[in-house]
Structure 1
Amino acid sequence: MVAKKPVRYGTLHFESQKDAKAFLNAMLNRYDPGDKVSATDAAVLAEALKLHPEADEKIGPGIKDFSVRSAEFGSKCFWVNRTDGTTAKFSHTACV
């Protein structure tokens, strides 16, 4: 049996990576493409993005806010909107 690996996003704590992924997936599904992510959810995403394998590249000069946009094959994903006006998409599953 594989041991559960806990995940923490700021003050949020998940007992397993599976639980953290489910939480972020549910968050993504609350939004439609073109929506800006709420301030509460953005705070969680900012913490989650720090765990992304390309965090420094994705965060760049700083985070302004987050949005949801269309992605490949009709799916949707989170986008980080940076303080310099640039944007980058990122996989929320990579933030676990």
Structure 2
Amino acid sequence: MPAKPITLGPMKFAKRGDAVAFLTAMLHRYDEGDKVSADDAVILQATVENHPDSAKKIGCGISSFSVRSADYGTKCFWVNRSDGTTEKFSIKASIHSG
């Protein structure tokens, strides 16, 4: 199966696996509880917009992103919505949904 390129904001990846690797490395630069930088947030916004449940994940709008704990002792990116609610999202679901 040929590689499927993907664009996330200003970033272009020749194949989806490269995007997953890039986002996973980004995740590991942050500690739990950290707010994501504005530059990284641009890429994450495009990532969550690609998620199959993007409308549910985004909700009323995104105010920021953070890194928090997830299932089974892992950590993941969380959408912080403008109404104060939060929602976690999967990097892999966002990248491999198209």
TM-score bin, normalised by smaller chain: over 0.9
CA distance, structure 2, for counterparts of residue 93 and residue 71 of structure 1: 14
Which residue of 1 is the match for residue 71 of structure 2?
72
Q: Give unpaired runs (5+ residues) of structure 2.
A: none
**Over aligned residues, Cα RMSD in angstroms?**
0.6
SS in structure 2 at match of 1:3: coil
- Percent pairwise identity: 56
What is the CA deviation profile of residues 37-69 of structure 1, one whole-angstrom value per residue up to 9, with x for unaligned ones?
001001110011110010000000100000000
Give the letter for the 1:83 counterpart.
S
TM-score under structure 1 length normalisation: 0.96
SS in structure 2 at match of 1:79: strand
Deviation at 1:11, TM superposition (A): 2.0
Give the letter for the 1:14 counterpart.
F
Which residue of 2 is the match for residue 34 of structure 1?
33
SS in structure 2 at match of 1:42: helix
Give the letter for the 2:93 counterpart.
A
Give the letter for the 2:87 counterpart.
A
Runs of 4 or more consecutive aligned structure 1 residues displaced over 3 Å after TM superposition: none
What is the CA deviation profile of residues 3-56 of structure 1, one whole-angstrom value per residue up to 9, with x for unaligned ones?
000000122100001101001100001011101000100111001111001000
Q: Give unpaired runs (5+ residues) of structure 1.
A: none
